[in-house]
Amino acid sequence: MAIYPIRTFGDPVLRTSAVAVSDDADSLQRLVDDMLETMYEAPGVGLAAPQIGISKRIFVADIGEGPFTMVNPEIVEVSGSWTFDEGCLSVPGYYWSIKRPGYAKARGFDIHGDPVEFEGDELMGRVLQHEIDHLNGMLLLERLSRREKRQAMREIREGSLGSAEYR
Ligand code: NI
């Protein structure tokens, strides 16, 4: 297993819509093992492949109930609304109060190509939406209002992520 460096804000891979996964189960298992190790080490509750520079539609997550993986996932249902201080391993150290649907259901596949479905309220619903956003090249900043986003960008520019090291 291997721990990957996590790509941060400003890396173009994070703004790229990832491509559908068609790899065999063995190589996906290796990728999932590496992604989980990287996620737990961070630590985080979810990690999408683009965050380690792999532009494929797969994510791993664990909200404290054990790890799960979704390949080629899609949100199929949302409802309600929930405001939560949301963070992202690719924008480390920042949290923004973001309102999204409270409940989400996602359908996709496991690494063997068998259909899987995950759903939930609050943190589970949030993780499903956040990770699938990553696969669509979208960071949580895009879920802020224009004014909030402007403020957030200013904070990022003035903070460590805005340093030359991350450009
Ligand atoms: Ni994230």
Query: For residue 73, is it within any domain?
Result: yes
How far is the CA of 51 from the CAs of 8, 99, 103, 130, in angstroms? 7, 23, 24, 12
Query: For residue 167, is it within any domain?
Result: no
- Does 160 have pLDDT greater than 80? no
Query: For residue 81, is it within any domain?
Result: yes
- What is the Å distance from ligand 1's center to 21 Cα? 19
pLDDT score of 1? 76
How far is the CA of 147 from the CAs of 142, 152, 154, 160, in angstroms? 11, 9, 11, 21
- What is the Å distance from ligand 1's center to 154 Cα? 19
Q: Catalogue the active-site residues.
A: 131
**CATH number of the domain where residue 125 is located:** 3.90.45.10
Query: For residue 166, is it within any domain?
Result: no
Joined together, the tokens standing for residue 126 give: 């949030």
Percent of all residues in the chain with a pLDDT value above 90, rounded to a whole number: 92
The owner of tokens 């792999």 is: 54
Query: For residue 5, is it within any domain?
Result: no
Query: For residue 84, is it within any domain?
Result: yes
Query: For residue 7, is it within any domain?
Result: no
Q: What band does 4 get if pLDDT is binned at 50, 70 and 90?
A: very high
Q: What band does 157 get if pLDDT is binned at 50, 70 and 90?
A: confident
| Ramachandran angles phi, psi of 11, nearest 5° | -75, 125
Express each pLDDT in 101-145 by its tens digit.
999 999 999 999 999 999 999 999 999 999 999 999 999 999 999
- Does 82 have pLDDT greater than 80? yes
Measured between alpha carbons, how far is 89 from 83 in angstroms, rounded to an integer? Answer: 19
- CA dihedral sign of residues 87, 91, 92, 95: negative
Task: Note down the domain range covering 123.
Answer: 12-161
Q: What band does 159 get if pLDDT is binned at 50, 70 and 90?
A: confident
Mean pLDDT of 26-54: 98
How far is the CA of 26 from the CAs of 30, 64, 124, 161, in angstroms? 6, 26, 27, 36
pLDDT score of 158? 87
How far is the CA of 8 from the CAs of 21, 33, 69, 156, in angstroms? 23, 21, 22, 11
- Does 166 have pLDDT greater than 80? no
pLDDT score of 162? 55
- What is the Å distance from ligand 1's center to 159 Cα? 18
Tally the domains of the chain: 1
Query: For residue 6, is it within any domain?
Result: no
Helices (H), 18-121: 25-41
- What is the Å distance from ligand 1's center to 64 Cα? 17
